[in-house]
């Protein structure tokens, strides 16, 4: 089974889901499951440093992640595609004709987006400290919701 998480830049939300699920698979010694992520825009940029730091504290190394831009080939080869936000869900439907579920719908039963920093914090709130705190908190929420997500994946 191949699972694909999609967000915008592939530097925070979908990466958090990808590496959290990889960690879950490894810890439970599950076989035959591939996990990747991509971004709808994926303009060249580095992973958010606070994500790398938070995951490092949790024993997960995502520092070597390679940013990827979503392609039709990626969608065609995935068995399960999960959008991190409504805008990604709509993008995939509009550009590729795929109906895909939202991460929050599968993990907490709400048709809501996992918000990016710029969506969650006003311009005035976007201090380095606040941005790092939001990324850390959100990455850990994604990480802790992976066991619930796993119950929705086909066997």
pLDDT tens profile 100-152: 999 999 999 999 999 999 999 999 999 999 999 999 999 999 999 999 998 88
Report the CATH number at residue 121. Answer: 3.40.50.2300
Answer whether residue 55 is part of any domain: yes
The answer on pLDDT for 155 being more than 70 is: no
Answer whether residue 155 is part of any domain: no
Closest CA to 30 of 3, 57, 68, 66: 3
Question: Whole-angstrom Cα distance, residue 125 to residue 81?
Answer: 32
Q: How many structural domains is the chain composed of?
A: 1
Task: Give residue 74's domain range.
Answer: 2-150
Answer whether residue 115 is part of any domain: yes
Cα dihedral angle (145, 142, 26, 72), rounded to 10 degrees? 110
At residue 92, the pLDDT reads: 98
């Amino acid at each position: 089974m191949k699972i694909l998480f999609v967000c915008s830049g592939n530097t925070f939300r979908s990466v958090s889901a990808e590496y959290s699920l990889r960690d879950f698979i490894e810890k439970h010694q599950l076989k035959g499951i591939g996990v990747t992520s991509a971004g709808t825009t994926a303009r060249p940029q580095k992973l958010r440093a606070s994500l790398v730091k938070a995951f490092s504290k949790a024993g997960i190394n995502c520092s070597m992640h390679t940013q990827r831009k979503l392609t039709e080939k990626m969608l065609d080869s995935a068995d399960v595609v999960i959008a991190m936000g409504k805008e990604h869900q709509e993008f995939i439907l509009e550009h590729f004709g795929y109906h895909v579920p939202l991460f929050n719908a599968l993990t907490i039963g709400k048709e809501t987006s996992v918000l990016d920093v710029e969506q969650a914090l006003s311009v005035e709130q976007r201090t380095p400290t606040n941005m790092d705190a939001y990324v850390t908190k959100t990455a850990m929420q994604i990480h802790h919701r992976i066991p619930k997500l796993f119950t929705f994946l086909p066997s």
